[in-house]
Structure 1
Amino acid sequence: MPRFAANLHYLFNEVPFLDRFAAAARAGFRGVEFQVPYQWPAAELASLLSEYRLELALIDTPQGNWDAGERGLAALPGREDEFRAGVELAADYAQAMQCGAVHLIAGIVPPETDPEAAKATYLKNLAHGAQVLGKRGIAAVIEPINPLQGDIDGGETYTTYGMRGFYLTRTEQALRAIEAVGDHNLHLHLDVYHMQLTEGHLADTITRNIRRIKHLQIAGVPGRNEPSRGEINYPYLFDLIDRLEFSGWVGCEYRPFGETMAGLGWAAAYGIGRP
């Protein structure tokens, strides 16, 4: 059975962020994920995880100046020192919260940037991030994100439909980067929602790369709502990853169409959504 983690930036936003741990646990989730924990003390978040017996699956490295449109630093030439400091901060938080993986988020590269400089910077930063995290027993992951859409209007901070101009956009590009870095601690993180928008071939891509995938995420297409809405046959994909013996987390990174609990009918078969 897939292990589902509630994304606390997207789900249960009927209540303040720190109350979402309890809400996720009451709904039956045993794991959570969230992109940016840095405005709260790591010890406070670790205490909530322990209190509600939740495992933290994933956080991101700091994304830079979000309000100015930045969405990560790994592929931005000239920001290497800031990226490295962010990796250390993410590692500290992940270790304190016993988080399994950190996403080394690539970022939106300014259009005037030389492509070869961006590529060289990205690979160098991935190598550094994978090494630093590996020394602490934390997996480093990279995620292709669709560059076709932007922020969710009226949505909470850190919730998006996509990231226009994002550097890493396709599975094959991510695989080439992982191979070029050559560190066993650098893994693939696939969001099925983004994959469907950019490349399709969901079942085939997951099957061919299952041993490289550390983390999966889901949402309906279009709309980024519940996985029961839209064109993707998620029950088929859930059965597939079971057959492939995928042991990682499946992050529920979707925007509920209405109230979070009311939209969890899709998860009832997996023991979620029943307080």
Structure 2
Amino acid sequence: MLNFAANLSWLYTELPFLDRFEAAARDGFTGVECLFPHEHPTAEIQARLQGLGLQLVLFNAAPGDWAAGERGLASLEGRDAEFQRSIDAALALATALNCPRVHVMAGLLPLGNTGDTADANQHQAARSRFEQRLAWAATQAQAAGLTLLIEPINTRDMPGYLLSDQASAHGLVERIGSPHLKVQMDLYHCQIMEGDITTRLRRWLPAGQVGHLQIAAVPDRGEPNQGELNYPHLFSELQALGWQDWIGCEYKPRQAGAGGTSAGLGWLRAQR
């Protein structure tokens, strides 16, 4: 049986954040994930998780100034100290919330699309910083007994994002060589950038470097029951591959307003 976690930053958005835990539990979810729990009182989140019997399975480390457009600190020049503080804080929060995984966002590449040598050098420097900082962060995660994740994100939704393909992510994880650093494989992003999802699952899952999966329809990022991805086939494939970890539901419900998320869970009831 596959285990699905409701992403509370994307689902049940008709409700205040702290009320979404109860809504997810009512719909039968036993796992939840979110982007930035540090924006809410830790004690309040703890109370909801414990009271409802929910497991928080994933959240993001602080990504810098999100409102100003930053999408991660790990590759940004001159942000070493801030990055380290974000990792320390995320690991402490994950420990408090009994959350085993933290997603570390890579950041955006420096501006410039001329393709000249200066751009290439800047981009290579950003990739080098990313790898060096992740190696340090993986050591901290090992000490905490937790796992950090990196996620390839499609450059249509997030132009300029440093990490956008599976091979680069898996190569980086392999070079660092820590069991406390893995890949967060979002099938929505992967389909947009690369396609051939079945083959990629068969390649990457047995390697043991995937620490989390996420799903959404392509191209509209709605419920996984329409569009170009055949999720019933992919769910069968995941079962055949022996996937036992969580699958995050990071999608935008097509039906807006009260009850929109719950009304769109027919796909989940059919899968169960």
> Is 1:253 aligned to residue 250 of structure 2?
yes
Contact 1:59 1:102 in 2 (8 A): yes
Please identify which structure carries the higher helix content: 2
User: Alignment identity in percent?
Assistant: 43
Q: Which residue of 2 aligns with 1:266?
A: 267
Distance 1:20 1:124 in 2: 37
Q: CA deviation at 1:248?
A: 1.1
Q: Which residue of 2 aligns with 1:134?
A: 142
> What secondary structure sits across from 2:235 in the alignment?
helix
Structure 1 stretches of 4+ moved >6 Å: none
Contact 1:224 1:254 in 2 (8 A): yes
Q: CA deviation at 1:40?
A: 1.3
Deviation track 1:38-93 (CA, whole Å, cap 9, x = no partner) reads: 11122221111111111111111101111111011111121111111000111011
Contact 2:127 2:162 in 1 (8 A): no
Distance 2:104 2:129 in 1: 13
Distance 2:230 2:127 in 1: 35
> Is 1:34 aligned to residue 55 of structure 2?
no
Q: List runs of 5+ in structure 2 lacking aligned partners.
A: 113-118
Distance 1:52 1:174 in 2: 35
Q: Give the alignment's TM-score, normalised by structure 1.
A: 0.91
Q: Which residue of 2 aligns with 1:220?
A: 217
Q: Give the alignment's TM-score, normalised by structure 2.
A: 0.92
Q: Which residue of 2 aligns with 1:165?
A: 160
Distance 1:98 1:270 in 2: 27
Q: How does 1:56-135 map to 2 (within 5 A)?
A: 56-111=56-111, 114-135=122-143
Q: How does 1:187-206 map to 2 (within 5 A)?
A: 187-206=182-201
> Is 1:229 aligned to residue 226 of structure 2?
yes
Question: Which residue identity does 1:98 align to in structure 2?
Answer: N
Distance 2:139 2:43 in 1: 24
> What secondary structure sits across from 1:108 in the alignment?
coil
Distance 1:129 1:60 in 2: 14
Question: Which structure's CA Rg is the greater one?
Answer: 2
Contact 1:61 1:90 in 2 (8 A): yes
Q: CA deviation at 1:109?
A: 2.1
Q: CA deviation at 1:270?
A: 3.9
Q: Report the aligned-residue RMSD.
A: 1.1
> What secondary structure sits across from 1:5 in the alignment?
strand
Q: Which residue of 2 aligns with 1:160?
A: none
